[in-house]
């Protein structure tokens, strides 16, 4: 059963990989401009940090919210991050007291990324069979079959009206116990709520909406 997560989420980055310019809308100032390309993968040290927070949460009888890969796109980044993504997902599996909030601009890539992680997990298990590897394969397969992990929330960004409906539609195709939207100031007219299987993060403030029974 879910306990209430702590109010101040922590941030864990398994890699950093932003480059280029974020899209903006006409009535918003430029945010951040050009970002340096940081192909910095440090998934193993982040995994150890996550296990540390898991131990803390377990001792306190609490659950911690985790903003996941705030300096990259967890699902959208390319194949050079496949192994780090596999390790990250296995970390999420093993940290049931952490609530992983995973935001992406490319929700259409989530299922393919899960399939790739499953393939890598099976290859790893073939090389070195062990109980943890077997459970990870079962966990990924269950997710793809519709049994979403309770401690992973899936979200997508709403920078403006263009493409908003597409992103929400794609997000809804992925099994999830909770979905959320990150909405910029430029799109206050977006009114997706629990009836769409989503809660919303508006203007940087979490609007906590009760999910439907089906979500």
What's the whole-model pTM score?
Answer: 0.77
Q: With residue 201 as reference, give the H or E element that holds it.
A: strand 199-202
- Measure the N-to-C terminal CA separation of the chain; round to a whole number of Å: 16
At 40 the pLDDT is 74
Residue pLDDT, tens place only, 111-164: 999 999 999 999 999 999 999 999 999 999 999 999 999 999 999 988 666 678
Residue ranges in the chain whose pLDDT is less than 50 = 1-7, 19-38, 188-197, 200-215
At 183 the pLDDT is 77
In sequence order, the β-bridge partners of residue 12 are: 68
Phi-psi map region of 203: left, alpha, beta (phi>0 left; psi -120 to 50 alpha): left
């Amino acid at each position: 059963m879910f306990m209430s997560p702590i109010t101040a989420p922590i941030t864990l980055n398994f890699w950093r990989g932003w480059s280029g310019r974020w899209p903006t809308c006409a009535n918003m100032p430029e945010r951040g401009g050009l970002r340096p390309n940081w192909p910095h993968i440090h998934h193993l040290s982040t995994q150890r940090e996550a296990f540390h927070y898991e131990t803390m949460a377990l001792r306190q009888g609490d659950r911690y919210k985790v903003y996941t890969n705030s300096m990259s796109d967890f699902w959208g980044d390319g194949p050079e991050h496949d192994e780090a993504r596999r390790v990250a997902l296995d970390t999420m599996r093993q940290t049931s007291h952490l609530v992983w909030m995973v935001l992406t601009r490319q929700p259409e890539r989530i299922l393919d990324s899960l399939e790739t992680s499953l393939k890598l997990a099976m290859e790893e298990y073939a090389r070195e069979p062990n109980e943890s590897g077997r459970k990870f394969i079962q966990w990924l397969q269950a997710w793809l079959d519709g049994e979403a992990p309770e401690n992973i929330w899936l979200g997508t960004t709403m920078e403006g009206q263009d493409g908003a409906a597409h992103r929400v539609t794609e997000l809804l195709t992925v099994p999830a116990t909770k979905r959320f939207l990150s909405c910029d100031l430029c799109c206050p007219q977006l009114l997706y709520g629990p009836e769409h299987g989503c809660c919303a993060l508006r203007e940087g403030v979490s609007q906590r909406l009760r999910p439907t029974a089906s979500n």
